Amino acid sequence: MPRSLIGVSLSFVTVILGVLTGVFVKQVSTDINLFTTIFYRFVFSLPLIFAFGFFVRGAKVMQINQRRALIFRTFFGCCGMFLWFTSLRVMPFGMATALFQSSVLFVTLLSPFLLGERVGLYRWTAVVAGLTGVIIIANPFSDEISWAVLYGVAASLAGAGLSLTLRQLGKGDEPVSVACWYNLSAFAVVCVLLVLFPDQLQSLADAVLMDLVWLGIFGAGMQITVTSAYRYADAVVVASMRYLQMPLAGILGYVVFAEVMTAAEIAGAAIIILSCLVIAWRELVRARQVTNPVID
Range of the domain at 191: 3-288
Q: Quick check: is 294 in a domain?
A: no
Return the SS3 of 102: coil
Task: Write the pLDDT tens digit of every residue in 235-271.
Answer: 556 666 677 777 788 888 888 888 877 777 778 778 8
The mean pLDDT value for 94-123 works out to 74
Q: Quick check: is 296 in a domain?
A: no
Q: What is the pTM of this model?
A: 0.81
The mean pLDDT value for 49-69 works out to 91
Q: pLDDT band for position 291 (50/70/90)? A: very low
Q: Quick check: is 243 in a domain?
A: yes
Q: Quick check: is 293 in a domain?
A: no
State how far the Cα of 172 lies from the Cα of 243, in Å rounded to an integer. Answer: 27
Q: Is the pLDDT of residue 40 over 60?
A: yes
Report pLDDT for 289: 58
Per the structure, how many domains does the chain have? 1
Q: Is the pLDDT of residue 143 over 60?
A: no
Q: Quick check: is 253 in a domain?
A: yes
What is the CB neighbour count within 10 angstroms for residue 177? 21
Count of alpha carbons within 13 angstroms of residue 32, beta-carbon side: 26
State how far the Cα of 142 lies from the Cα of 153, in Å rounded to an integer. Answer: 16
Q: Quick check: is 98 in a domain?
A: yes
Q: Please work out, in degrees rounded to the nearest 5, the angle formed at the alpha carbon of residue 52 by the alpha carbons of 48 and 54.
A: 120
Q: Quick check: is 295 in a domain?
A: no
Task: Write the pLDDT tens digit of every residue in 15-30.
Answer: 899 889 999 999 999 8
Report pLDDT for 104: 72
Which residues make Cβ contacts (< 8 Å) with residue 247, sequence separation at least 6? Answer: 273
